[in-house]
Every structure is written in C-alpha cells, then in structure tokens.
Amino acid sequence: MPDVKSPVTDPIADQDSPVTPDPWADLTRFTAARIALGRCGSSLPLAESLRFKLDHARARDAVLAPFRQGEIAARLAEAGIPSLELESAVADRNEYLTRPDKGRTLSPRSRDILQGQGVGHDLCLVIADGLSSLAIHQNAVPFVRAFLASMAPSGLSVGPVSVVRHGRVAVADEIGALLGARLSVMLIGERPGLSSPDSMGVYLTWSPRPGTTDEARNCISNVRRGGLPLAEGVRKLCYLVEEAFRMQGSGVGLKDRMAPGYLPFGREPALPE
C-alpha cells in the first residue's frame, strides 16, 4: 500500500495557484492524449479549457470554410495539369452535412461537362472538399503534382482532374464511369479531429461505377503535415496503383504489403514541393 498519510502538498506547485497539478506530466511523452491536466477543485483548469476550445474552433472552421475550388484549378493549371470544376447535387453546406446521398451524386451540369470529355483513361483523379476544405487547400495540389510526376514513367494515361464541390467519396464512382476510367483516385478532406483539422484521405476504386460499395475501395488516411507525410502518402498511392493494375482490382483483396525500400514504378519518387 502507498503511504496515504504523507502530506498532500506538491513542492513544485505555486502556493497561490488554485490549480492542483498532476504529478505524472512526464508520461505525456508516451501519448498525445490530454493527460496530467491538473484540476481546480475537481474541474478542468481554464488554460486547458481554452486550448480545447481553440482546437474545436479550428476543426469547426475546417468543416465550414468555403471551398476555394477556382484557386485549386488555377494552381493545377499553373503546373500544366488540366482540370474540370464540378459539383455534387448538394445545394449548400448544411445540405451537404445532412444528405450524404446527394453528396454522392453529380449535378446535371457536372454530368453534362463530363459527357463532353473523351473517354477511356487508365486512371482518373478526383479532388473533393469533403468534410475539410482546409485539408484540400493545404495538401491536394502538391500531392497531385508529386503523384503525377512519380507515375509519369508508368505510361498510364490520366484524364483531367475533377475538382468537386460538396463531394462525398462515392461521387468519384460516377465521375470514373463517365470518363471510362479503369481506376479512380479520390483525394478528399476527412472528418476533422480535434488535433488534426487538415487531414486528407485518398481512396482508390477499380472499375468505378455508381453503386460501388466501400469494401471495393482502398484507403490511405491521415495524409497531412504532422500525420502521414505527403511524400510517404504519394509513395503508398503509387504502390497501391501498381498493385491494382497488376491484380485488376481493389478493395479487401488488395493488401498493403509495401516493402520498406519500395520505389514507385522502379524510380526515385518525385518529392512534393
């Protein structure tokens, strides 16, 4: 049994502070969880209460921030990458959050645009705001540039990049089908975590068509600075693309067995700027 009779004062504590510190702050080196916060009475000290509030505010802003679609298209154009500005059947952000079915469907205008494109690409790329515009503003363009540069030696053909407002993951199925793509690659803003409002997800779907279900996809999650670095995400995507074309499929049958020294398409990868 511990010595419960010992005095309860902590020598480090400021005598005047109403906060009772927790004497296990050294354990924060093992986890990013909010441990050893101390307490005032039994309640949360103000400093942590405000820190939490700030993180939540940033995550909320990431969900609600307007998607700068034109800017994404312009940055792609600067890099010589053609793109199409599309939208789902969703009217506004509120409808986006409550009607996932509409976020998976293209607007009639977008469908017309895609029907005017050439068909029969090996691969189509889709960028959608999803639940974090911030994630896309920060990560999508450098990711696409590095990926296209890395896969250039493969000889696989790529259609125009679709940039979709108010899109869910499955909207890429309809886009891929209209473009006649063998594989779709979707970059989308993930549901923001309190400490990761800028996290981007990458989804691969072989033979995309409306009605495809999630077990037919592969996902690379948490791509962001501070999460899975962009360069590592690009390398993993190249590996999964190569495997998908080798086995002519994606989803539960496509296992991530990437070797530590894997080189995309046999070359040193292009690094994101």
Of residues 111, 110, 138, the one with CA closest to residue 227: 138
Tokens 């679609």 appear where?
69
- Smallest gap from Cβ 194 to another protein, in A, equals 5
CA 239 to chain centre: 18
- Smallest gap from Cβ 59 to another protein, in A, equals 4
- Smallest gap from Cβ 60 to another protein, in A, equals 6
Question: Which of 190, 243 has the CB closer to another protein?
Answer: 190
Question: Which of 52, 265 has the CB closer to another protein?
Answer: 52
**Residue 54: both structure tokens together:** 């700030």
Beta strands in 113-214, from DSSP E residues, in sequence order: 123-128, 161-165, 183-189, 200-206
CA 104 to CA 124: how far, in whole Å?
A: 17
DSSP 84-121: EEEEBS--SHHHHHH-HHHHTSB-HHHHHHHHTS----
- Smallest gap from Cβ 211 to another protein, in A, equals 12
- Smallest gap from Cβ 197 to another protein, in A, equals 8
Q: What is the largest CA-CA distance in the chain?
A: 81
- Smallest gap from Cβ 232 to another protein, in A, equals 15
Question: Which of 120, 253 has the CB closer to another protein?
Answer: 253
Burial class (CB in 10 A: 0-12, 13-18, 19+), 200: buried
State the residues that interact with another protein by CB under 8 A.
1-4, 6-10, 20, 22-24, 27-28, 30-37, 39, 41-44, 48, 52-53, 55-56, 59-60, 62-63, 97-101, 131, 191-197
Question: Which of 3, 14 has the CB closer to another protein?
Answer: 3
Question: Which of 78, 101 has the CB closer to another protein?
Answer: 101
Question: Which of 71, 101 has the CB closer to another protein?
Answer: 101
